[in-house]
Amino acid sequence: MLVLVILPGCGGSGHAKVQWQAAAAPGAHFRVPAAWHVTTAAGRTTAKDGSQFVQVATFPLVHRYTDKLFDRVQSELAIRMAAVAQASKGTVSAHRVAVVDGTRSHVYDVEVGGRTDRYTFVLRGKREFLLLCSADSDVCDELAASFVAG
């Protein structure tokens, strides 16, 4: 005998659609899950939900950044990320290039325990925006896709 069970409202991927809220950091804005708690401190904005979080921090650059410097800054960022990984007892597992807010950006993944932290460096003029995401990949993807400086 075949028993057919129909569950109302089911369909799609089975995942609840995430609702988003706008968040602002010094000189930028981006989106995070609506249920997350957002706080702003000196030079940074953090959104959290339990152990998951995203953070956008702004730092001044000594020299004006232009895209001509893109390849040259990679070695400096690689050294910086190796130190971050070592301090967190993790490893740098990947480096890639992504376009964030129209700017070629360096992205590093750091494996720490059972999680992956994504560091995205958006350099513009005399400012560095560091997008740190320690959350599900859809949250990290939305952070990068929604980030706008200025």
**Cβ-defined contacts of 75-79 (< 8 Å, 24+):** 77/106, 77/108, 77/121, 78/108
Q: What is the pLDDT of residue 17?
A: 82
For residue 109, give the 3-state DSSP assignment. Answer: strand
List residues bridging with 44 in a β-sheet: 41, 57
Any idea what DSSP says for residue 135? S
Q: Which residue from 60, 37, 40, 61 is spatially nearest to 49, judged by alpha carbons?
A: 37
Q: What is the pLDDT of residue 18?
A: 85
State residue 102 phi and psi, 5-degree precision.
75, 5
CATH topology of domain 20-149: Protein Transport Mog1p; Chain A (3.40.1000)
Neighbouring residues of 64: CB distance < 8 A, sequence distance ≥ 6: 125, 126
**pTM over 0.75, yes/no:** yes
Residue spans per domain, the chain: 20-149
Q: What is the pLDDT of residue 15?
A: 56
Length of the chain: 150
pLDDT digit of tens for each residue in the chain (150 aa)? 333 333 344 444 455 688 999 999 999 999 999 999 999 999 999 999 999 999 999 999 999 999 999 999 999 999 999 999 999 999 999 999 999 999 999 999 999 999 999 999 999 999 999 999 999 999 999 999 999 998
Q: What is the pLDDT of residue 2?
A: 37
Q: What is the pLDDT of residue 150?
A: 84
Q: What is the pLDDT of residue 1?
A: 39
Pair 110, 92: CB distance under 8 Å: yes
Give the separation between CA 134 and CA 118, rounded to whole angstroms: 6
